[in-house]
Structure 1
Amino acid sequence: MHTILLSGGSGLRLWPLSNGVRSKQFLKVLQRDKEDKLQSMIQRVWEQLNKCNLTKNSIVATTVTQVEAIRNQIGEEVSIVVEPSRRDTFPAIALSCVYLYSEKNAPLDEIVSVLPVDPYVENAFFEKVVSMEKVLNDSQADIALIGVEPTFPSEKYGYIVTDKSPVSGTYYNVDSFVEKPTINLAEELISNEALWNCGVFSFRLGYLINLLKEKGYPITYHELKKDYERLPKNSFDYEVLEKTNNIVAIPYKGYWKDLGTWNTLSEEVSSSIIGKGLIEKDVQNSNLFNELDIPVILMGLDNTVVAASPDGILVTSKEASPRIKNYVELIKEQPMYEEKEWGWIKILDHSYNPDKSEIFTKKLSIKPHNVTDSHSHSLRDETWIIVSGKGVITLNGEVNDFTPGDKFDIPKGTIHSLKATTAVELIEMQIGEIDSSDIYLENVEEGMIKN
């Protein structure tokens, strides 16, 4: 069995810690079992998959802005399918299946399981994922789903309506789907034993490959990438599930939660304070998430979330927190913090000279033994000031050792690279016309810095 992990969302409901570059699944706010170290949603799910021996044949479908964060958090060896553009779950799954078929030579009768990278579940959930292969073979269904037994009527989730007669006590035949019902309808669905649709399903690879053939899409990876914009910008549920008749559902009775909002995430963190700050002792059911280097103090506000990062500051009641997405979409600011495969970038300041040239000031953290690419810029000058760490900087072929306090001017056209011997932090000032495409690579290696 192959597993496709979907990691394309922007996670706007967890702003300001989450943004288009660092989505919610990369936030290190969850307690690791029996350890003090925090981990992210994707790291937690990857560990759970590994315990069921599913990581070897797993691939992650994502956008180009998330590739470095994925490799940084779960390893450089992970197979990644990069979408040319963000177009919802059906195109992402189609591209991943064509990759398995044409690049990995997976047979058409291979079982493919699809799941998001951020469910908060017990390990037993992934045992259900493993069981989907047998259920598909026993039932001869086109698609098998995992349906969570609801614990309360929710308007946020989709529901799977089954025939209520389990086959061999293992799975149900699916009659229909209901997407995000009203509370009254949700109560009625639960009384009729409907299941929450948690977005986990399996099918034979040939089922989707044949579907793409019928619709006239290429079934080779590179050709489909070229034609990616032709694929409908729809969910897999709408494009496939709702148009398929032979579907079965496996019920799951254990713990499952979508940690997509501050109110749900705050219920699963190990401490009410993550980062620098204090919460007044009489405050009830409030949480502080602070990524800034300055303290934040929360007083007199119960049932509140305060989240602070270089991207902004959010103060909200837990009940209102899901609505943040509506407001973040109005903010067009560049992300001020990006996690990279080699470390991270934090924008400290952005200003303009009287002549309208731009000044970007950034702080970069680079992991030990990382070698950046050799590159140059034609529109801007740069200055690097070493804050900490040791290594060498190469400027137009001249190798220079550096230690904390050293300063290097890098005029336009200078070919430059850095090799970190230890962990390195530096301040970078960019002056001129700041254009993300203004980078000319002399060579390309894994771990390169592009900023």
Structure 2
Amino acid sequence: MKKKSYELYALIMAGGKGTRFWPESISKKPKQYLSLTSEKSLLEETLERFDRFIPKEKRFVVTVKEQEKLCKASSKGKINSNGIIFEPTGRNTAPCILMSLASLLQKGLSEDDVITIVPSDHVILNKKGFHSTIKKAADFAHKNQQIVTIGITPNFPHTGFGYIQKGKLLNEEAFKVSRFKEKPHFELATEYVKSGQYLWNAGMFVAPIRVFLEEFAEHAPLMFKHFEALMDTVKNPVKLKKVYEKLPSDSIDYAIMEKSDRIAVMPANFDWNDLGSWDALSTVMEETHGNTVVKSDGEFFLNSADNVVFAPDKFVALINMDKHIVVVNDKVVMVAPVADAQEIKKIVEHLKKARPDLL
């Protein structure tokens, strides 16, 4: 029997690698710890987005042990004093969430508590809109015992995002999820946007812990059968690792969201950018002479526009060059057309074998 009221908690997923932001995002300092849109890291900004909404004692971060120092530096004073949960090894989002729920229950949370799960590397400028959307999602999730995912109204046919098709309207703001769609090709993405039936999948989920667990039990039984063992070992890293490695490596979308009939989607009442790759910075930063200069020590542009430049402590000069990404650091120069920003991950694949020292 659910309680009439609920407590709201936040879980920030911060263990990713961010390969499309190479050469700045490397294994020693992945994307969520970079300062791209301000002086603060993306993880810091994510945590501060909950200020005056979810108190720091109710915020937790899940990451991997290799990122402990970076995570502590970015989250100091912004999360529960015992607020870092360590994933024993990178395993995909479904095992990570299941293990985190076990950890939260061991830390004293109740299955009636509502948890908001968000990524650590998104840019959202409208905090009030973010708060109101999450609050409405939490109220709906608690009242109806469902998982609410947040959808973003698309403003152009993006091929790098998954899409969610809206079903029937459940209340003033929430829709039943008709289906999740994989990243589409351009023509299909154009159809999705024109139809008005589709939202971008932002990878944010709000639900009572109990509902998450029930849906894991029903739709991911091979994973959920290890839940009791996770509960028993979550305070012992060595034993936890042995249990964790038995869990199938699935995304939360594939393990639960695409199968469950207890999923609602609520359109976001805020701006959103998932900063998937360098080109995305042009949508969240002010232009400098028609270009996006993230960092530099001055610049000169002649007949050059729509470029994205990241070159800390370097003077940058571009002549007759449009729509390119230019990234320079102490070890690497990388230049690529904006249209091919998604291809940067292929450099990372090459370097794994050829030059692991650059990762």
TM-score range, shorter chain: 0.7 to 0.9
Q: Residues 120 and 242 of structure 1: is their aligned pair in 2 closer, same or farther, counting only changes over 3 Å?
A: same
1:376-428 deviation digits (Å, cap 9, x = unpaired)? xxxxxxxxxxxxxxxxxxxxxxxxxxxxxxxxxxxxxxxxxxxxxxxxxxxxx
| Displacement after TM superposition at 1:229 (Å) | 0.6
Q: Residues 296 and 28 of structure 1: is their aligned pair in 2 closer, same or farther, counting only changes over 3 Å?
A: same
- Residue pairs, 1:21-420, within 5 angstroms: 21-31=28-38, 38-75=39-76, 78=79, 79-102=83-106, 104-121=107-124, 122-123=126-127, 124-141=129-146, 143-163=147-167, 165-190=168-193, 191-210=195-214, 215-217=224-226, 218-220=229-231, 221=234, 222=236, 224-270=240-286, 272-273=292-293, 274-291=295-312, 295-332=315-352, 333-334=355-356
Conserved? CA contact 2:142–2:207, under 8 Å? no
| Displacement after TM superposition at 1:237 (Å) | 0.6
Conserved? CA contact 2:114–2:209, under 8 Å? yes
> How many aligned residue pairs are there?
327
| Displacement after TM superposition at 1:58 (Å) | 1.3
Taking the aligned partners of 2:308 and 2:200, their CA distance within structure 1 comes to 28
Taking the aligned partners of 1:294 and 1:198, their CA distance within structure 2 comes to 35
| Displacement after TM superposition at 1:101 (Å) | 0.7
| Displacement after TM superposition at 1:193 (Å) | 1.3
Question: RCO (CA 8 Å, sep 6+): is it higher in 1 or 2?
Answer: 2
Q: Secondary structure at the match of 2:261?
A: coil
Q: Secondary structure at the match of 2:283?
A: coil
| Displacement after TM superposition at 1:210 (Å) | 4.8
Q: Residues 112 and 263 of structure 1: is their aligned pair in 2 closer, same or farther, counting only changes over 3 Å?
A: same
- Greater fraction helix: 2
1:207-260 deviation digits (Å, cap 9, x = unpaired)? 344566653212412454431111111101111112211111111253211212
Asked which structure has the greater CA Rg, the reply is: 1
Counterpart residue type for residue 69 of structure 1:
L
Q: Residues 183 and 319 of structure 1: is their aligned pair in 2 closer, same or farther, counting only changes over 3 Å?
A: closer
TM-score, normalisation: structure 2: 0.83
1:274-330 deviation digits (Å, cap 9, x = unpaired)? 133523243212232124x55443333222221112342111121122211012111
Q: Residues 151 and 54 of structure 1: is their aligned pair in 2 closer, same or farther, counting only changes over 3 Å?
A: farther
Taking the aligned partners of 2:197 and 2:177, their CA distance within structure 1 comes to 12
Q: Residues 309 and 179 of structure 1: is their aligned pair in 2 closer, same or farther, counting only changes over 3 Å?
A: same
Conserved? CA contact 1:95–1:225, under 8 Å? no
Conserved? CA contact 1:21–1:335, under 8 Å? no
Conserved? CA contact 2:88–2:240, under 8 Å? no
Counterpart residue type for residue 302 of structure 1:
D
Alpha carbon RMSD of aligned pairs, Å? 2.3
Conserved? CA contact 2:215–2:260, under 8 Å? no
Taking the aligned partners of 1:15 and 1:288, their CA distance within structure 2 comes to 13
Q: Residues 237 and 319 of structure 1: is their aligned pair in 2 closer, same or farther, counting only changes over 3 Å?
A: same
Q: Secondary structure at the match of 2:328?
A: strand
Q: Residues 267 and 147 of structure 1: is their aligned pair in 2 closer, same or farther, counting only changes over 3 Å?
A: closer
| Displacement after TM superposition at 1:77 (Å) | 6.3
Aligned sequence identity (%) = 27
- Greater fraction strand: 1
Q: Secondary structure at the match of 1:51?
A: coil
Conserved? CA contact 1:97–1:205, under 8 Å? yes
Q: Can you give the 5+ residue segments of structure 1 that lack an aligned partner in the other structure?
A: 32-37, 338-451
Conserved? CA contact 1:6–1:116, under 8 Å? yes
Q: Secondary structure at the match of 1:81?
A: strand
Taking the aligned partners of 1:19 and 1:29, their CA distance within structure 2 comes to 14
Q: Can you give the 5+ residue segments of structure 2 that lack an aligned partner in the other structure?
A: 1-7
Conserved? CA contact 1:110–1:205, under 8 Å? yes
Taking the aligned partners of 2:297 and 2:156, their CA distance within structure 1 comes to 35
Q: Residues 198 and 306 of structure 1: is their aligned pair in 2 closer, same or farther, counting only changes over 3 Å?
A: same
Conserved? CA contact 1:279–1:288, under 8 Å? no
Taking the aligned partners of 1:80 and 1:196, their CA distance within structure 2 comes to 29
1:53-91 deviation digits (Å, cap 9, x = unpaired)? 353311111112222112212316631111111111111
